[in-house]
Amino acid sequence: MDNFIGPLAALLAALFWACATLLYSRAGSYLNAAQLNLVKGFVAVPLLALFALLSGELLAFDGSAAAWLLLASGVIGITIGDTLYFGALRRIGPWYAMLFEYLAPPFAALIAWWWLQEAMTVRELGAALVVLMGIFIIISERSPQSQTHRLSLSGMAAGTGAALCQALGLVMAFEALASFAVSPLQAALVRLAAGTLALTVALLLLKPKIMGQTKAALRHTSIPWLMVAIIMGTLLAIWLQQTAIAYLHPGLAQTLLATAPLWLIPIQWLRGEPPSTRSIAGALVAAVGITLLFWR
């Protein structure tokens, strides 16, 4: 059963993130990227702390070297990585930004091999490449929206930096979970709290009026939909992400976490937006790769 916990957690995290993405686009139109990040953290961190307290894991955290690894990984992956990703979105658009996001799985595999001496097996590597191929087929399909953006050096640098930070943060969290007595819930709480705190301090220094502006924007925001998006996309997704990397190689976990576009296909179909033949083909290719991971 342990062989399936990691892959299932990663796939569920990707599903929740796909659903949350649609909800964020519906509920967060009055919030800019920085404000949305703040609200996500301010809601999700107390909820994670409450769950950790009720389960007894909050007081059990010993604050060893694992805490510093998790704090650093939260700042690198959430504060810096997300900021660079949003910068890539503005400069080169969502389609190209997503293409650069899929540099994260190979980055995670290389960092884990160099830093932790953790190598993927031949079967895991082959399955991961098949999954990435299927995802690339889907997201590389040209849409009318992509016509309005062109690749720029600054946008490509931001996209590459975001993928690198995401991979580095994940590998650092993997090291903490593998080497110390840290649970996925504790890891999720420390990482998100560190990322939110660093983002808050940075924004207060750069934009002192950010809190008042965010409060004003929330008056025009659909709070129920936003709360559902935060619970699914931040609270549950990050918790499941940490569970996945507790059981999987970082490169493999990052690959499965990148399957959010696959989940968007049935979701959009249910919303009356049938997928293209190319999207279906890409989904089938990725499904073959995922099947190889579960095949024993």
- State how far the Cα of 251 lies from the Cα of 113, in Å rounded to an integer: 9
Give percent of the chain with pLDDT exceeding 90: 7
* pLDDT tens digits, 182-207: 888 888 888 888 889 998 998 899 88
What b/e readout covers 20-31, taking b as 16+ CB neighbours within 10 angstroms? Answer: bbbbbeebbeeb
pLDDT digits (tens, 9 = 90+) for 171-183: 888 888 877 778 8
Q: Is pLDDT above 70 for 257?
A: yes
* Secondary structure letter of residue 274 according to DSSP: P
CA–CA separation, 6 vs 245, rounded Å?
A: 7
Digit-coded pLDDT (tens) for 120-130: 778 778 888 88
Over range 236-252, report the average pLDDT.
86
* 186 contacts: CB under 8 Å, gap ≥ 6: 52, 57, 58, 60, 61
**Residue 100 in this model has a pLDDT that exceeds 60:** yes
- Identity of the highest mean pLDDT range in 19-33, 46-60, 85-99, 267-281: 46-60
At residue 146 the predicted structure's pLDDT band, cuts being 50, 70 and 90, is very low
**Per-residue pLDDT tens for 49-79?**
998 888 887 767 666 666 777 778 888 988 8
Share of the chain above pLDDT 70, in %: 87
Q: Where is pLDDT greater, at 23 or 226?
A: 226
